[in-house]
Structure 1
Amino acid sequence: MNLSKLGIKRPVTILMAVLIVILIGSISFSRLPIDLYPDFEFPVVLVSTSYNGAGPHEVESMVTRNLESALSTVDGLESISSTSRYGHSEIILMFDWGVDMDFAALETREMVDLVSEQLPNDVGKPIVLQLNPNMMPIIQFGMSGDLTLTEMTEIAETNVLNQLERIEGVANVDIGGGYERQIEILVDPYKVNSYGLSYEQIMEVISASNLDVSGGEIIDGERRYGIRTLGEFQSIEEIEELIIGSNQGGPIKLKEVGRVNDINQEIQPLSRLNGEPTVSISVQKESDANTVAVSQAVIKEIQSIEETLSNVTFEVAMDQSEIVQDTIDSIVEMAIIGAILAMIILYLFLGNFKATIIVGLSIPISVIATFILVYFRGDSLNLLTLGGLALGIGMMVDSAIVILENIFRKRELGAEPVEGAEEGAKEVTGAIIAATLTTVAAFLPVVFVEGIAGLLFAPLSWTVTFSLIGSLVVAITVIPVLTVKLVPKGTNILKEKAKIPKMVDGLLNKLIAFYEKVLKNGLKRRFIVMLTLVGIIVLTVLLSPLVGFDFLPAMDTGEIVIQVELPKGSPISNTADLVFDIEDRISEVPEINNVFSQIGSGGNEEEATLNLKLVPEREREKDAFVVANEIREMMPNLPGVDFLVVEQDMAGTATALGDDIEIAIRGNSLETLEVLSEEIADIVRSVEGTTEVSTSFDEPRYEIQIELDRDRAQTFGVTPYHIGSFISLMTDTQLISFYREDGEEYNIRYGFDGKENLSIDTIQTMLMRTPTGDLVPIEELATLTIAQAPEQISRENQMRTGFVNANVSGRDLSSVMVDVEELMSDFDLPDNYFIDYAGLYEEMNYAFTELIFALGLGIILVYMVMAAQFESLLYPFIIMFTLPLTLIGVILSLLLTNTTLSIIAFVGIITLAGIVVNNGIVMVDYINLLYHQKGFSRNEAIIEAGKTRLRPILMTTLTTVLGMFPMALGIGEGAEVRAPMAIVTIGGLITSTILTLILVPVIYSLLDDLRLFISKKYNKIKTS
């Protein structure tokens, strides 16, 4: 069916179809969610289990090994790793990308339930969590005001929390910092012993005395009465007056052996905003929610709360939606600028405003049509889908340019408007369909790429495909109609041009004349041309090792994170003092807008995290990476203290995939693994560009080991459990009940008075009441010694493993790893010990392997599309010679712009595979028309086709290049991610276009000679 002819005969139908597309597209656009990256889930499940009081060895043997053995049979599991530390087991299951994570998490829970019965009785119930980027808060506030921290905490928990959790799209709200009320009962161990009481007895009495007990119901007369025994504490004084035992002197009250404190306990982690204590509020969104919409709704609700609570103010510490919105706005701006530049090129070549508008209309119509398909595919407007649109802005007019130029050429030759539109469109429709399908064919394999590369780029691939198909349909149907309706009979657009376009036309005519001479000389010296191009390609390949490789380009999100870790066992007061010092040191950095600190993060008193929010990128001279390096230099040099300064990753990919470099050493002996890890860490430190090198064997934790004298203990009926429970009470308070007041519930914690003054000597001399009723000092039952113990025991695929981790700064990841592997090649490992490389380096290699597969498959599909178009295997083979020419531009563009080859840049190479053949298709198609149908000789056909098609080839190339040029400049939020794709595409397109104009005619003539030679030989054999 000739769609162009149909459209010309039914212009109103075409107009209505366009209006319907614009209407539906506008509605689709308004309902598309906005995010930074495409929504995807990491294939990771975490199984977390508590085992209070157990050391790493006990946790490993009693919990981790049992769970690992069962979980290793889960379907789709790629690897299993675990960490056993004090009182806690953490197992991470890494599944293959593409696995249904809901089903994987369900199967994991089922396996955990099966093995839970085999675990010790005092092991907590394992918690199974499915990890994904949405677990990170999208917005954090600091709360301040005239109230005390206690009052603000209460307001946050009773008022703010409920209101924010009601917002659509909000998954969870966490309150941190501040204080919460609790009742603390501290007993004096000496008084307890003097009264002949036991600590367990007191604890049991308190718990049993604070209960309301239901006693069923009775019927008295005609009424039914429920029975409830009221026993809950009504006041602190009632707790103090509680009788906990008796002796010859009479009843013993709780206040006689201890004290009851109504205190405000600091909530960990402790929160600070810009150097002042604050109550922090962190909001997480649901997995399918719109980041920008949720964040805006939360901010609106917070503003409403501020108006209601006049004595409380909120300050935003972190807001993901800002970078998301700025990035999206920047992409839209770049796309609009690219479209304007493409329109300017069109005007300069066409020389007529109407003609420019006719072609330019294909851009907005194609974009709006793309929004419809993106909406129904369930994608979002993000860095990559909009980047795909921006990438395709220049390509969207290619089909329209070829058709318009051919229509007006027909009219210049004397055709009527309708006849010129029908014949001009029909003549090149086959060529532009083939050209569009080759681009689509190059992108299509990206949909089948596995791993994070596939999850990131599949939406981009679909977006480009939708936009190009839309532009093709517009070119075939709308453009011919508009030429008939908007350009009346007698108008000669190719001659009636404005002054500047006429000057461009003059230059173009000179360029065509020059090209004709070059082409004639090239056809006379075909082998010299071939050898020259081969030499250029070989030289370019020799330069390729200078191009570095990276996983993803670093993106300036305007946020920096400082992670601090003090020696194991350091009290939170020491951590707080160090954080105060760091806050003072960085306070003079002008690029920092605010500092949000959390002390005791991760539940560890020796750890802290400082989130630095920088001023907007447009308002600072330095990027986040330079600021981060300056901050690294500011960190104090303290023994045993580790600092990690990283630029925040919005998508959470770095966190999930590990550090840049991760070397795993597997074996059995922890001591040997520690030695090997330290030796390998020293090797990694010696490589230029490595930073923050660490091992999984951090500074060991010192512990007091209590070795029971079993014979002596058994005479008193004492077991390790008795001593362990007794020591636990001495060192920390335990939650034993709840105190209710005014509808609120507060913890009642029970422990020893004076625990802050405990020492080894006091523990040894502490009297313990045994099951036999005797009071015996600990030293009579056990020996106390100080010893080193591993902080944690790591395992991977059920083998003990040591890790060496490092990040890369100032160099590309690939070149650093080449140096590391070269040094490691001489490293001798003991028998039965193995080394593996993991982290981002491993993921990068996997991603590149998948993308190379997609590129190879794309090239095959491109060839097949062209073979179907030309009904020949020869002519597509001629055109495929343009692909090696793109390598020249790719490598040179990367070297000139000092850009590494990342997976983003590789998508630009895949793009080139589809678009660089378009010029060859247009040229070969016209050569065949003149050579095989119009009676031209071969060389005449080649020269005439080259001269005729030079104009549309230059127009399509320049519009595509200038359409991508704003992206390539690397200006605006998120530019670091989208620029490499545009740089590679522009570089490859420019060189391939220039060289294709020479190479394709030469290759055509050479292979045609070969065809004629084979045909002649065949005919001679046939006739003989």
Structure 2
Amino acid sequence: MWLTDVSIRRPIFIVMFVLALVVLGWQSRSRMPAELTPNIELPYVTVLTTYPGAGPNEIETTVTEPIEKAVMSIGGVRNVTSSSQEGISTVVIEFELGTDPDVAAADVRDKVGAIKGNLPEDADEPKVLKLDIGSRPVMLIGMYGSRSAREMRILADDVITDRLAKVRGVAAVNIIGGEEREINVAVDKNRLQAYGIPITAIVQAIRTANLNIPAGSIKEGARDYSVRTVGEFQTAEEIADLRIYIPGRAGTQGSTIRLGDIATVTDTVAEPKQITRLNSKPSVTISIQKQTGANTVEVANGIKRELHELKSVLPHGVKLVIASDDSTFVKYSLHDVNKSLTEGILLVVVIVFLFLHTVRATFIVAIAIPTSIMATYLPISAFGFTLNNMTLLALSLVVGILVDDSIVVLENIERHLRMRKHPRQAALDGRSEIGLAAITITFVDIVVFVPIAFMGGIVGQFFRQFGITVATATAFSLLMSFTLTPMLASRWMKSQDEEERDREALRQRLLSGTATLKDRIDAFFRAVFGVMERFLKSLDIRYRGLLQWALENRFLTVVIGFVSLLVVVAMTMPLPSRSAGAYSAKLIMPRVIIALLALALSAVAMKIDVHSRKVALAFGVLMAVVALTVYLPFGFSMFPDVDRGLFTISVRTPPGTSLKATDEVVRKIERVLEQVPELKKGFYTSVVGSAGTSIFGTNTGSEYAYIEAQCVDKSQRERSVREIVDWVAARMASIPGAAMITTSVVSGMGGGGPTQGLQKEVQGQNMRDIIEEANRVAAVMRRNPGAVDVEISYKESKPERRIVVDRVRAAEFNLS
């Protein structure tokens, strides 16, 4: 092979080439963003519209349905789902996989904009949002102290938000909790009636007076002035001094009156819609969202630096505490994967040393593996990949593939050295002899993993980086086996004559007593390798005997392999329970078929391989018993459970429950959390008035609440987060006043609420019939073992008082 010949004849060239790959790979790795999972694009677009004061039925008919009809005509729409609750309409549009989310969002924005005039005037501007997994908060910060809730909110809005928003990579800083300033105008209705002033006149007077209006410009000689009418109120006293016009009656002239004479104007705080606490203490919660594609770790580090600088600005007694930080888990996860990768390389090097019996060959392998891995960072960085669990998992997996190429090459070079060839010639001949076979083996590995990168669906987007990383690293391994490995072997490995001379010289020094420490170490390892060789030879003898038996009983060998595969499949099937009833026969039938097939094939093998009848009989009976009785409870999920010490509690009280009553339920839950020792040095944030964060929107209202709890690091606790959640759930079951309390462990993908493992959709034309059928389906699901927190998406509206206008009487009095 010409490439190998050039590498051996031009070692400096190949060394500089490999060093360039390593340096560029290292630089690329340092610039790659660190994330927990790959960046994926989900084909979902959400339209969020708020209509203050409207009930779910009004939201459904006036807002949700017009938006649904408008977006259904967009090309590529796969499904449209909506949720209408008090004051909020949420429409989620699912597109076909492969649709560009930017184009889809633009199409939705155009359609919604076209029907904007058909929406209620009091409804806010619809917001069109792309679904982004990275849009959930990467950090939650709690602010508490001795200042009032109003001062804390002002401090968060005017100081902290501006400072944190300037951090590179921050997309939004959201403030929750505290008390917001509000000017309250309490009108005396008796005085209004006495003066004959309608309440709408008060509202209109305040709205028209509270304006700053540009009025053009004035040019005076060399000076140019801008003219602006300033009318915005600065204090509550200014509002109280506002003059309200009173129309004249029966020809009398109109007059004016101070607003303060007919109303009480106070500078106060708004009625809270949400209540937040940190570790049961009143607080203001600050959530940080990062920009799409931004580095989670760098954003978090920038936030932490800014928080450190804010300590000198904040008033005495006010503290900022990081209650939740996604970057910590990202760093821990990537550190664990990097640690596993390093350990894998070291173990491979040790195993290679034990079986090759030479330090020189082992050192060559130890150089080839990290060189191939480091060079892989160059192309995957150019592809836009990030340092995440999938790419690092791919590199950990590929270590076993990388070592194959080097070992095969070195083993063949060693064989040519035993033919008494010069090391350079042995390296060239050894590599060239198996060059085509090495290329074939490498491309077989590549064609196995490359299709993984082109799988469809959301799972395919996650594994895209995995497949391409494995294929790239394998290709670099092939390159190193043609260049770096034979070049190093030609320089470092000894010829057979040199080996024999060194072995004889070592023996003479040991016999004469002039051996050095290095000689004694060499002798020790030679003795260890001798023991290993004898052990491997004994294994070889036993394997030959087993192989001889398999060749003599070929049909039985095939039966053993085939039936073993079927039995393993049967072991993953659940065994029927006593409560399954008639359904138990369906569950056990596949196991029975496999057991009968095992017995039948073993009986046939007894007739064909007559010398192994006892083996066939014993195998068939054993497999039949295992197929009918053994169950291996394998779990199936898209992502594994990871103990990051974070869990959430979602609370829902009956419809119409006040914020204060829901807060009482949350306080009882907080008293349970205070008993958890793993939270003594941890943090838990309580938010009353919201059901938590979600990439599909969330439920808001006085009947909802959620708590996010962060335990101490798992190295500082004995219980897993799952055990802590079970303990907390058992003690929350007796808390009165809640319609439902659910707990959820936040795993690798994050999230701020309980996961929905299984959803059943009920469709129909009549809403009452749909609700009845949904309740029947939910009742069936609740009886299924393992199902918890089963509920339907339909929620009753809060109690309301309706005013039904008598249109005839209203017309008589000229009222509308």
Moved more, 681-690 or 237-246: 237-246
Distance 1:78 1:533, change over 3 A: same
Q: Which runs of 5+ in 1 are unaligned?
A: 720-1024
SS at match of 1:262: strand
Q: 2-side partners of 1:347 and 1:225: how far apart?
A: 87
**Larger displacement relative to structure 2 (495-504 or 479-488):** 495-504
The verdict on how the C-alpha distance between 1:307 and 1:255 changes in structure 2, with shifts beyond 3 A counting, is: closer
Aligned to 2:612: none
Between the aligned residues of both structures, percent identity stands at: 31
Which of residues 777, 786, 810 in structure 2 aligns to 1:689? 786
- Contact kept, 8 Å, 2:651 with 2:738, in 1: the verdict is no
- Who is 1:634 aligned against? 731
| Distance of aligned partners of 1:21 and 1:193 in 2 relative to their CA distance in 1, 3 Å threshold | same
Q: Describe how 1:819-898 pairs up with structure 2 within 5 A.
A: none
Amino acid at match of 1:589: V
Partner deviation per Cα, 1:617-654 (whole Å, 9 max, x = no partner): 22222222221122211214435521121112453579
Distance in 2 of aligned mates of 1:517 and 1:235: 98
CA distance in 1, matches of 2:11, 2:227: 85
Q: Distance in 2 between matches of 1:235 and 1:654?
A: 40
1:34-53 pair list within 5 angstroms: 34-53=34-53
Rounded Cα–Cα distance in structure 1 between residues aligned with 2:262 and 2:77? 56
Q: Which amino acid aligns with 1:298?
A: I
Shift of the alpha carbon at 1:89?
2.2
Instruction: Tell me what 2:762 maps to.
Output: 665
In 2, the alpha carbon distance for the partners of 1:438 and 1:529 equals 27
Residue 352 (structure 1) shift: 1.8
Change (3 A) 1:648 1:268: farther
- Residues in 1 aligned to 2:652 and 2:89: alpha-carbon distance in whole angstroms: 20
1:115 corresponds to which residue?
A: 115
Specify every segment of 5 or more residues in structure 2 that has no aligned partner in the other structure, as ranges: 504-521, 574-630, 691-698
Higher relative contact order (CA 8 A, sep 6+): 1
Once superposed, what is the RMSD of the aligned Cα atoms?
2.5
Residues 1:345 and 2:351 are matched in the alignment: yes
**Pair 1:709–1:427, CA change in 2 (3 A):** same
CA distance in 1, matches of 2:102, 2:32: 24
Aligned to 1:500: 528
2:238 aligns to what SS in structure 1?
A: helix
**Partner SS for 2:362:** helix
> What does residue 566 of structure 1 align with?
653
Report the Cα offset of residue 220 of structure 1.
Answer: 6.3
Distance 1:282 1:523 in 2: 68
Q: Is the alpha carbon distance of 1:145 and 1:354 closer, same or farther for their aligned partners in structure 2, counting shifts above 3 Å?
A: same
Q: Which shows bigger deviation, 231-240 or 572-581? A: 231-240
Shift of 1:215: 4.0
Q: Which residue in 2 is equivalent to 1:651?
A: 749
Q: Which residue of 1 aligns with 2:154?
A: 154
Q: How does 1:851-1000 map to 2 (within 5 A)?
A: none
Deviation at 1:445, TM superposition (A): 1.0
Asked whether 1:281 is paired with 2:286, we answer: yes
Q: Secondary structure at the match of 2:458?
A: helix
Q: Are 1:252 and 2:257 matched, yes or no?
A: yes
Moved more, 556-565 or 2-11: 2-11
Task: Please give the per-residue CA displacement for 1:709-739, whole angstroms capped at 9, x wherever unaligned.
Answer: 11001112222xxxxxxxxxxxxxxxxxxxx
In structure 2, C-alpha distance between the alignment counterparts of 1:542 and 1:295, rounded to whole Å: 48
State the AA in 1 paired with 2:723. Answer: V
Corresponding residue for 2:673?
A: 586
Which of 293, 301, 319 is 2:306 aligned to? 301
- Structure 1 match to 2:7: 7
- Which residue of structure 2 lines up, in the alignment, with residue 718 of structure 1? 815
For 2:59 and 2:407, how far apart are their aligned partners in 1?
Answer: 70
Structure 2 counterpart of 1:706 = 803
Give the C-alpha shift of residue 609 in structure 1: 1.3
Query: Quick one: distance in 1 between partners of 2:212 and 2:721?
Result: 58
> SS where residue 308 of structure 1 aligns?
coil
Provide the aligned length of Structure 1 versus Structure 2.
718
1:678-697, Cα deviation, whole Å (9 max, x unpaired): 11111111011011111123
Is the contact between residue 424 and residue 491 of structure 2 (CA under 8 Å) also seen in structure 1? no
8 Å contact kept, 1:245–1:253: no
Structure-2 change in CA distance of 1:268 and 1:185 (3 Å): same
Q: Tell me the residue number matched to 1:937.
A: none
Identify the match of residue 516 of structure 1 among 523, 544, 557.
544
Q: Partners of 1:465 and 1:225 in 2: how far apart?
A: 69
CA contact (8 A) 1:138 1:291 kept: yes
Asked if 1:539 corresponds to 2:576, the answer is no
Residue equivalent to 1:599:
688
What is the identity, as a one-letter code, of the residue corresponding to 2:372? Answer: S
Matched residue, 1:875: none
Q: CA deviation at 1:461?
A: 0.8
Partner AA of 1:594 in structure 2? F
Structure 1 partner of 2:445: 439
Alpha-carbon contact 2:668-2:735 (below 8 Å) kept: no
Deviation at 1:487, TM superposition (A): 1.6
Q: Distance in 2 between matches of 1:477 and 1:216?
A: 77
Q: Give the aligned partner of residue 143 of structure 1.
A: 143
Query: 1:427-481 CA deviation, whole Å, 9 max, x = no partner?
Result: 2222222222111111111122111111111101111111111112112221111
1:116 Cα shift?
2.1
Counterpart in 1 of 2:166?
Answer: 166
Report the more deviating stretch, 510-519 or 155-164: 510-519
C-alpha offsets along residues 315-337 of structure 1, whole Å, 9 cap, x if unaligned? 10110000000000011111111
Match in the other structure for 2:476? 470
Contact 2:178–2:283 (8 Å) recurs in 1: yes
1:997 is matched with: none
SS of the counterpart of 2:311? helix
User: Relative to 1, partners in 2 of residues 1:84 and 1:565: Cα closer, same or farther, differing over 3 Å?
Assistant: same
8 Å CA contact 1:141–1:281 kept in 2: the answer is yes
Question: Superposed, which structure 2 residues align to 1:35-114 within 5 Å?
Answer: 35-114=35-114
| SS of the residue 1:124 aligns to | coil
Residue of structure 2 in register with 1:233 after alignment: 233
Alpha-carbon distance, 1:120 to partner: 4.1
Offset of 1:504 from its aligned partner? 1.5
Distance 2:336 2:86 in 1: 48
Is this contact kept in 1: 2:647–2:708, CA < 8 A?
A: yes
1:393 to 391, 399, 412: 399
Shift of 1:28: 0.8
1:623 aligns with 2:629: no
Q: 2: distance between equivalents of 1:343 and 1:222?
A: 85
Taking the aligned partners of 1:24 and 1:383, their CA distance within structure 2 comes to 22
Q: Distance in 2 between matches of 1:244 and 1:538?
A: 88
Q: Structure 2 length as normaliser, TM-score?
A: 0.84
Kept in 2: contact 1:347–1:501 (CA 8 A): no
